[in-house]
Amino acid sequence: MPFLTDINRFILTFTCICGLNTLVALKDGFEFWNDYGRSGFISTFAYNKKEKKMQLVKMKQTDYEISGTYSGENGGTSVVDLLTNKYTAHFRVVRNKKIVELPVINRIMIFPKTYLENFSDDINFDYEEKCVALYNQYQAENK
């Protein structure tokens, strides 16, 4: 069964490279939780019956500190559905010593189709770069 083979291959790679991160089983796939301390990603994979492969279908990001001060006040969460390309983010900033929620960001964000065999952290870092750019844009527009 390709589904089990792909997951077994992923678990072996995961154990060797990322030891401290987490795999979470889902009904139709799994989530790979990759925590970097002040930020992290959750990559959701589901079995694509047509392609007969595990496909990356969603990415979530938490960034506790975007501005670099590490106080935990500027940051937020975002999610992109890779099947519909719909991106939603909730960010906050500190203004006049108060935490202010920025308006919810709803955009289209496109990534290449990614399967388990060609998945790497590169797609997460590309996602993070796009999130930071939108955060900076919205922060400037919503002062």
- pLDDT tens-digit map of 82-98: 999 999 998 887 778 78
- Beta strand pairing status for 53-63 and 39-48? antiparallel
| pTM for this model (two decimals) | 0.77
Angstrom distance (rounded) from CA 21 to CA 14: 8
Angstrom distance (rounded) from CA 39 to CA 19: 17
Q: Other C-beta atoms within 10 Å of 8: how many? A: 10
Q: Quick one: which of 87, 10, 101 has its CA closest to 47? A: 10
Q: What residue type is 136 in one-letter code?
A: N
Give the pLDDT confidence score for residue 16 in this predicted structure: 39
Strand spans (E) along the chain: 22-26, 29-35, 39-48, 53-63, 75-81, 86-95, 98-101, 105-108
Q: What is the mean pLDDT of residues 55-81?
A: 75
Q: What is the mean pLDDT of residues 102-111?
A: 92
Angstrom distance (rounded) from CA 106 to CA 87: 6
Angstrom distance (rounded) from CA 113 to CA 55: 8
User: Percentage of the chain with pLDDT > 70?
Assistant: 74
Which tens digits make up the pLDDT trace of 12-63?
444 434 435 788 888 889 988 887 666 688 999 999 999 999 999 999 988 7
Give the helix ranges, DSSP H, for the chain.
2-18, 121-141
Angstrom distance (rounded) from CA 113 to CA 59: 12
